[in-house]
Structure 1
Amino acid sequence: MIVATIKKRNARVRYYRAFIPLIFVLQAAKLLSSPASCYGWSQGNSCYSLLQLLLDPANLKTLSNPPPHWLTIESIFPIALILYMISVGAFLLTIRVQEV
């Protein structure tokens, strides 16, 4: 590995810049839709998303009358996770080392 580094001392790493904003958007979607509070999960309830917890943390603490689930946001998590992994993989596959 050290020999390869010395041989390509003047090389530049090339990548597609369009992937960077896409990765950031998908990472934000993945984080905000990720499960945060799973109260009642063992009874079959779905987990509350991090976005719901951040926007209304006081309602989630009351156990007597929990707020309704945001099913759209909660169901986005697996899709956002898969798209995020695909975009990071595509970004890593497009990295090239170019001689200057």
Structure 2
Amino acid sequence: MILLNRLNGQPFALNPDLIERAESTPDTVITLLNGAKYVVAQSLDEVAMLMRDHRAVVLSRVQDQEQPPAGPPSRPKPASEGDATVLRLPERGQ
């Protein structure tokens, strides 16, 4: 979520993934994918910066979680259960 202000100064949070476009007319108007429009106190450049920073934080957190563990990759071990062969996947974090 990014924090914005309405023209009267009232803050609100907006999901930047729902933004279709933002324009300056001269007030900054944000149009969402569903057609809803918000007029905000921030400039177009500020909105773009907030969106960029939000996306960078999200991507950074995903990248941190996807770091491969040190050492060679482990392979699933087959385990026989009745007539079917079941591959056991390693537990998360191993």
Relative to the length of structure 2, the TM-score reads 0.35
Higher helix proportion: 1
Structure number with greater Rg is 2
